[in-house]
């Protein structure tokens, strides 16, 4: 059973809290107190290393040397990550330098960095003779160097808490608050950002804007009230320039970008201005592109208001507009500074938009694995009927998956293509209907058509995958989505298949659905897809 304060991830997946930060930041003291409050065991990574080596940390570090110490540290942390139990873990100051393990900690639990300035840290540790990195040196100077070297690694966390001058109880409370909120991190070194998901999170907007000089608030006709107005109120004293775009895909156009450019430039924004997008994927893509290009790039923050934008377009940094030659053909990668996914905004979203967005959620669950699919099956009725309480964990699951994939493959050179599951045929169905079929409905049909392609390929190499196809079909139907792909896929769609951006010569990069958590990218001849769906 999950401990107090932790939202269980999925059944059987342990939840862990990791405390990171430089020496003197208070990881062990805070960790012990937090573990008491959460009712979880406390683990000190350094103690585990001492158990493993049979020697005090400082001794071992000095005699074995730093590279060997880091190797043992990585082994010890790796073993800890395989343990199937919840815990609060205080890491050593350099443990965050193991990039692969740091990313696993971010996926497996909550990683919080405790931070203070070098002078404060130096005062705290100067009397401690067991610190091998400080021996015989000026502590403040050493700490300054360490912080500079580790800045990018420390930045990859669910929250960085400034602890200098804060009473320990306040630090503990802040840690517990982050644990309760369970944000998702997109770990990209110094460009790391957090996706905060929950009801009413728009209220945090002023805090997230930090040192912004002004805000260019972009909405569309359907989101300006009440959500744009709420965001504007949450900007408090900051100067706000409001831009209301016409709604819909037909306005994902350069004219909308110009509307933002002109409003921002007339307001004489400077490079510390933030563009804030309040709306669905169209507003987010257009506002993100405007932000990427204004003054050669200002920050953008997303407040997504549709299921699609929460689980997909607001996360990952793709921005852009459509041209007569095709969708999304002009754009830029521009990662947001923050994402606030306020579930309350879904209360005004039309039912058909909500249900269409659930196709992307089902796709994410399938890519994520068994736990996510089971959670979605359990909540499908509530999601279909718009019960907002059912959405938080589901959006979190999908965002977590996207964050994991984006952090490994930001520019879609490999694994990110997995997110196109169901989209090759889906896009063709959408285009053939002249976009009368909603994107999510087309993806739903595309997901099931993908099983046909997989079965066609497998005929020579093994049994079909009928149980999985039936399972995903059942889930999509329960979510209110169309499942008979033959109704959307005809000659016209067949023609559009070859126009897929993922086409490589006569081949297409196709995603085979497989089983939950085991989809696969495969380059196959387009003729195979045609034959499978004939």
Ligand X SMILES: NC(=O)c1ccc[n+]([C@@H]2O[C@H](COP(=O)([O-])OP(=O)(O)OC[C@H]3O[C@@H](n4cnc5c(N)ncnc54)[C@H](O)[C@@H]3O)[C@@H](O)[C@H]2O)c1
Binding residues for ligand X, rule: CB under 6 A, are: 220, 222-223, 247-249, 252, 279-283, 285, 305-306, 308-309, 312-313, 316, 318, 327-328, 345, 348-349, 353
DSSP letter for each residue of 153-179: HHHSSSEEEE-TT--HHHHHHHHHHHH
The two tokens of residue 520 are: 């696969």
DSSP letter for each residue of 269-335: --TT-EEEEEESHHHHHHHHHHHHHGGG--EEEEEE-SHHIIIIITSS-EEEEEETTEEEEEEEE--
Told to judge if 98 belongs to the known catalytic residues of this protein, a careful annotator would answer no
248 versus 495: smaller Cβ distance to ligand X: 248
Vertex 50 angle, CA 49 and 56, to 5°:
130
The span from the CA of 186 to the CA of 197, in Å, is: 13
**Among 222, 404, 420, 438, the one annotated catalytic:** 420
Question: Smallest distance, Å, CB 248 to ligand X?
Answer: 5
The span from the CA of 43 to the CA of 373, in Å, is: 32
- Torsion angle of C-alpha atoms 25, 27, 33, 39, degrees rounded to 10: 150
Question: Smallest distance, Å, CB 288 to ligand X?
Answer: 7
Told to judge if 423 belongs to the known catalytic residues of this protein, a careful annotator would answer yes
Told to judge if 144 belongs to the known catalytic residues of this protein, a careful annotator would answer no
**Among 16, 27, 379, 423, the one annotated catalytic:** 423
What lies within 8 Å, CB to CB, of 56 at 6+ separation is 50, 130
Told to judge if 252 belongs to the known catalytic residues of this protein, a careful annotator would answer no
192 versus 222: smaller Cβ distance to ligand X: 222
**Among 73, 107, 360, 441, the one annotated catalytic:** 360
- Tokens 């070297």 — which residue? 149
Question: Smallest distance, Å, CB 232 to ligand X?
Answer: 16
CB 92 within 8 A of CB 73: yes
Question: Smallest distance, Å, CB 202 to ligand X?
Answer: 12
The span from the CA of 311 to the CA of 248, in Å, is: 19
Question: Smallest distance, Å, CB 493 to ligand X?
Answer: 18
156 versus 430: smaller Cβ distance to ligand X: 430
Told to judge if 68 belongs to the known catalytic residues of this protein, a careful annotator would answer no
Told to judge if 506 belongs to the known catalytic residues of this protein, a careful annotator would answer no
The two tokens of residue 123 are: 């005062």
73 versus 322: smaller Cβ distance to ligand X: 322
Name the closest residue to ligand X (Cβ): 281
Told to judge if 334 belongs to the known catalytic residues of this protein, a careful annotator would answer no
**Among 181, 249, 370, 412, the one annotated catalytic:** 412
124 versus 253: smaller Cβ distance to ligand X: 253
Told to judge if 251 belongs to the known catalytic residues of this protein, a careful annotator would answer no
**Among 127, 296, 491, 506, the one annotated catalytic:** 296
Query: Which residues are identified as catalytic?
Result: 296, 318, 360, 402, 412, 416, 420, 423, 427, 439
């Amino acid at each position: 059973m999950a401990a107090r304060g932790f939202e269980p991830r999925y059944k059987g997946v342990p939840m862990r809290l990791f405390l990171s930060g430089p020496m003197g930041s208070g990881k062990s003291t805070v960790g012990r107190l937090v573990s008491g409050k959460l009712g979880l065991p406390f683990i000190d990574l350094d103690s585990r290393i001492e158990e493993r080596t049979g020697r005090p940390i400082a001794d071992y570090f000095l005699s074995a040397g730093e590279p060997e110490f880091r190797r043992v540290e990585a082994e010890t942390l790796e073993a800890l990550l395989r343990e199937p139990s919840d815990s609060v873990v205080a890491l050593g100051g350099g443990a965050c330098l193991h990039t692969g393990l740091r990313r696993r900690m971010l996926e497996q639990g909550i990683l919080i960095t405790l931070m203070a300035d070098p002078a404060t840290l130096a005062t705290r540790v100067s009397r401690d003779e067991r610190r091998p990195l400080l021996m015989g040196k000026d502590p403040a100077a050493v700490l300054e160097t360490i912080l500079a070297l580790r800045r990018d690694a420390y930045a990859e966390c669910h929250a960085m808490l400034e602890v200098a001058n804060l009473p320990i109880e306040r630090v503990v409370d802040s840690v517990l608050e982050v644990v309760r909120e369970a944000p998702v991190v997109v770990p990209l070194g110094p460009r790391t950002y957090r996706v905060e998901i929950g009801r009413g999170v728009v209220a945090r907007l002023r805090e997230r804007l930090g040192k912004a000089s002004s805000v260019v608030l972009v909405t569309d006709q359907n989101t300006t009230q009440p959500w744009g107005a709420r965001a504007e109120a949450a900007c408090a004293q900051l100067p706000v320039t409001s831009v209301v775009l016409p709604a819909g895909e037909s306005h994902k156009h350069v004219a909308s970008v110009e509307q933002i450019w002109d409003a921002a430039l007339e307001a004489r924004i400077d490079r510390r201005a933030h563009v804030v997008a309040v709306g669905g994927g169209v507003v987010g893509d257009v506002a993100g592109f405007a932000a990427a290009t204004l003054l050669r790039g200002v920050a953008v923050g997303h407040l997504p208001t549709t299921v699609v934008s929460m689980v997909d377009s607001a996360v990952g940094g793709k921005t852009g507009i459509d041209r007569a030659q095709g969708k999304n053909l002009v754009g830029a990668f521009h990662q947001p500074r923050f994402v606030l996914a306020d579930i309350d905004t879904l209360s005004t979203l039309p039912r058909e938009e909500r249900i269409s967005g659930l196709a992307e959620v089902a796709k994410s669950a399938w890519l994520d694995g068994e736990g996510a699919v089971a959670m979605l099956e359990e909540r499908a009725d509530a999601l279909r009927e718009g019960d907002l309480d059912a959405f938080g964990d589901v959006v979190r699951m999908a965002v977590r998956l996207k964050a994991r994939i984006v952090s490994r493959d930001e520019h879609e050179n490999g694994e990110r293509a997995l997110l196109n599951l169901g989209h090759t045929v889906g896009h063709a169905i959408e285009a053939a209907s002249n976009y009368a079929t909603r994107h999510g409905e087309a993806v739903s049909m595309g997901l099931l058509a993908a099983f046909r392609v997989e079965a066609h390929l497998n005929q020579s190499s093994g049994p079909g995958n009928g149980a999985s196809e039936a399972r995903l079909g059942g889930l999509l139907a329960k979510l209110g989505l169309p499942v008979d792909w033959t109704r959307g896929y005809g000659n016209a769609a067949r023609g559009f298949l070859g126009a897929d951006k993922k086409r490589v010569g006569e081949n297409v990069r196709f995603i085979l659905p497989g089983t939950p958590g085991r989809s696969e990218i495969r380059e196959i001849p387009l003729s195979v897809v045609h034959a499978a769906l004939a």
